Structure 1
């Protein structure tokens, strides 16, 4: 019997994993989804207590201090220190408990700022990350370094996945958070404001030029792929979990899709006084496609529609 501990198990990806596992009902696996209330993973003793309680054989490590572009820009030291602590405590405690496998979640933002595209798994350490989020990026890169070190010294199968930008139900909808949930939150609030004003006269602001390009993966798709990695992927080398390159969209197109999902009749404008971050970070999923050629990703506009409907229906309980 596998006992799978999911750190960060009450967040966006954790909730998606819960939904997929509930659908599958695997008879040979027992899953425990740990949130921040279960343990402060920046504390070694608290991490140890969580592992003592769950006694996992496998770990999916999602827990991290995360934030959007502007939050990262202002708090690089905090992102570096807190994530270094979390990652070291989880991996070392998994080692001490004899866990068979740990799958950690990285991010495409860890790749070098100056690089060629598309980026792939071999390019993670080829140069400095973008200056806006170097604290988070270096902390996440070191998971890959640690995975190799644990394999070299102890033969452990500690590995990592590198998803593109994730969105879906149960996201964190702070306005300063990641781009899609931040936009959904702001558009929802805009539609509630000044009810006497015709919606055609309302203006929604897209932060930045709207031109940067991104790949987005629906959280339920990512959950299915992470479960596959846990069960089937047998390498310490990281693997990119991303939609195809052709699915890349601009930030302005994201705003248009969200507006369509809300049936928003107002105007979209771009505030170019706000930073854009990296113009693009196109990732290749060739490695994934070679191993899992028939996986079907959810259509982007359909996934946006589902995410907006979830937010509207769960507004009172959503993380704002």
Structure 2
């Protein structure tokens, strides 16, 4: 029997994994979705207690201190220290307790700020990340370093996935979120011109389950929509406004920072292994996410 522990299991991706597993749960797998109430993963003893209780054979490691652009800019030290602690505690405890496989979740923001596009898996460590979120980025990069170190010393099959920007039901809708919105005037932070690839959380969940079951390399793999599906932040705002049937005004607040202009990622490696995977259409996924937000407004994470 395979026992899968999901850290950060009550967040956006954890909830998506739970939804997918409910529909396609194999009889030889048991899943446990751990949230912050289960354990403070910055604490080694608490992490060890969680693993001792659940006895996982496999781990999907999603837990992290996360935030939008402006939260990162003001708290790089906290993002660095807390994520270093979480990642080291999870990976070392997984090793000590004999976990067969760990799949950790990274982010395209860890890539070098000065680079050529599209970025791919070979370029993670090629230069400094964008200065706005260097604390988070360096902590996440070190997961890849640790994965290789556990593989080299102990033969561990610990790997990582690098998704593009994720959205969907159960997202965190705080004003500091990456794509904020308000009531009568829809204010877009920055110029609206930066380009991003967005992956629907349910699509990402399916891909991460495939990685857990079938991807047998320590090397990271980018889980992203195709380059042709890249959109501007303003186009995202337009899609959200349309899904809300919003008739007000869209305004770009150029006093706010844009962050990186683009971080276009190549999914060529994924496509070579899963050529026929069909991503949900962007506008359809936005509509589904907005419908979930409306239906769950009173207890959505705001």
**TM-score, normalised on structure 2?**
0.99
Please give the alpha-carbon distance, in whole angstroms, between the structure 1 residues aligned to 2:31 and 2:248: 45
- Residues 1:297 and 2:266 aligned together: no
The residue aligned with 1:90 is 90
- Residues 1:309 and 2:296 aligned together: no
Instruction: Specify which of 206, 211, 215 is matched with residue 224 of structure 1.
Output: 206
Runs of 4+ in 1 over 2 A off after TM superposition: none
The residue aligned with 2:63 is 63
SS of residue in 2 equivalent to 1:205: strand
Please give the alpha-carbon distance, in whole angstroms, between the structure 2 residues aligned to 1:203 and 1:56: 48
Please give the alpha-carbon distance, in whole angstroms, between the structure 1 residues aligned to 2:290 and 2:220: 31
Count residues in correspondence.
Answer: 302
- Bigger-Rg structure (1/2): 1
Structure 1 unaligned regions, length at least 5: 191-201
Q: How does 1:38-57 map to 2 (within 5 A)?
A: 38-57=38-57
Query: 1:203 Cα deviation (Å)?
Result: 2.4
**TM-score, normalised on structure 1?**
0.94
Query: 1:246 Cα deviation (Å)?
Result: 0.3
The residue aligned with 2:19 is 19
The residue aligned with 1:199 is none
Q: How does 1:97-176 map to 2 (within 5 A)?
A: 97-176=97-176
- The Cα RMSD (Å) is 0.6
> How far does the alpha carbon of each residue in 1:151-199 deviate from its partner, in whole angstroms, 9 at most, with x for none?
00000000000000000000111010222xx33xx3xxx1xxxxxxxxx
Q: Once structures 1 and 2 are overlaid, which stretch shifts more, 266-275 or 237-246? A: 266-275
> How far does the alpha carbon of each residue in 1:187-214 deviate from its partner, in whole angstroms, 9 at most, with x for none?
xxx1xxxxxxxxxxx4221110000000
Please give the alpha-carbon distance, in whole angstroms, between the structure 2 residues aligned to 1:55 and 1:266: 52
The residue aligned with 1:198 is none
- Residues 1:278 and 2:265 aligned together: no
Please give the alpha-carbon distance, in whole angstroms, between the structure 1 residues aligned to 2:56 and 2:86: 17
Query: 1:260 Cα deviation (Å)?
Result: 0.2
